[in-house]
Copies of this chain bind each other. A is one copy, B any other.
Amino acid sequence: MKIYPVIMAGGSGTRFWPLSRKATPKQFLPLATERPLIADTAARLKGLAKPSDTFVVCGKLHAGPAKKWVKGLPAKNVLVEPAARNTAPAIGLAALHVAKRDPRGILAVLPSDHHVANPVAFRHVLSDAARLAEVGQLVTLGIKPTHAETGFGYIQIGGPLYGRARIAKGFKEKPDLATAEAYLASGDYLWNGGIFLFRADVILEAIAQHMPELSKGLEKIAKTVGTRAYAATLAKVFPKLPSTSIDYGVMEKADGIAVVPGDFGWSDLGSFSALPEVRKADAAGNVISGKGALVLDSKGCVVLANGRPLAVVGMEDVVVVDAGDAVLVLSKAKAQDVRKVVEALKAKKLERFL
């Protein structure tokens, strides 16, 4: 059994502006530790998979940073998407490359920008999931929910399968609060963290069954993998592939998907307000980093300094970020509204700060 991690690094979110920029989206920021999230993601796999078997799927702008931060990653394992087409085409592309080497190789699809507090537990769960994938199962990890979160998709647990694995009875879109609370209370739902395991041949077969259009495109590319025609074919075919998530395109449609429940201190780090979940706070609940931060009489704040003095006085539950060429002051409760700033900067023709 060989695991081929596929680190999904195509994201280009804006919720960490002004730290995140086009050239350095969230996965390349050291949000949880001293190194970028993508480096943590790769390091977390130690013992499960080798860097030479690891793939990263990302945009052209991020191939360099990906190679820099995933230690030992061979250049040919950086799969550059000519255009962002959501996760199904990205995973399909990775499956082609894995299949070329090892048709029964197991893809472990991993978001590049999440945090795991307990990597040992994580590896255990992943290993269990891989063993199921080995026998031809489509597998997803389900994360034990800690609160009624409305920002995630959920997986409904069905009957027993093997060991702690269960049948995934259904994939649910982001719920409203009442639904999320009902999910949490029932104990029958897990968070969908976007972590999937399957053999290369099995996912390509599932794509052929549920996403024939994508499958046709992938077949064209498949013929050229490892040849000089690859780049041109990819550039021509990939941008026209249907922009669909693997959840919607395959997981919600396939039968008998396995879900392995896991509890490994997972956080999707959805916004600045999530930093206290993953970073050490002081006695007043402030998460402070960077030279120059001067936080006085404040509590529950996130203060990220950038060398120059950044004084925060008498504040509560506020995010203050100095990125050098731009500064953000944000109510923690409005952490999602960073996107409004991004929109405003666009409207003002200040894209150079994005």
Binding site for B on A (CB under 8 A): 18, 294, 296-297, 308-315, 318, 320, 322, 325-331, 333-334, 337-338, 340-341, 344-345, 348, 350, 353
Contact = CB atoms under 8 A, between A and B. Distances in A.
A78 to B, nearest CB: 32
Contacts of A312: 329-330
A320 B329 contact: yes
A314 B337 contact: yes
A53 to B, nearest CB: 42
A309 B333 CA distance: 21
Given A309-B326, A350-B309, A331 B314 contact: yes
Contact of A313 (B313, B337, B353): B337
A327 B304 CA distance: 12
Contacts of A322: 327
A333 B308 contact: no
Contacts of A18: 309, 311
9 closest A-B pairs by beta carbon, nearest first, are A314-B334, A314-B331, A309-B326, A311-B341, A313-B330, A312-B329, A311-B328, A310-B327, A320-B329
B294 A313 contact: no
B329 A296 contact: no
A27 to B, nearest CB: 22
Contacts of A327: 308-311, 320, 322, 327
Given A18-B309, A311-B341, A326-B308, A334 B297 contact: yes
Nearest to A325: B308
A268 B334 CA distance: 35
A353 to B, nearest CB: 5
B297 A341 contact: no
B340 A329 contact: no
Given A326-B311, A329-B313, A297 B337 contact: yes
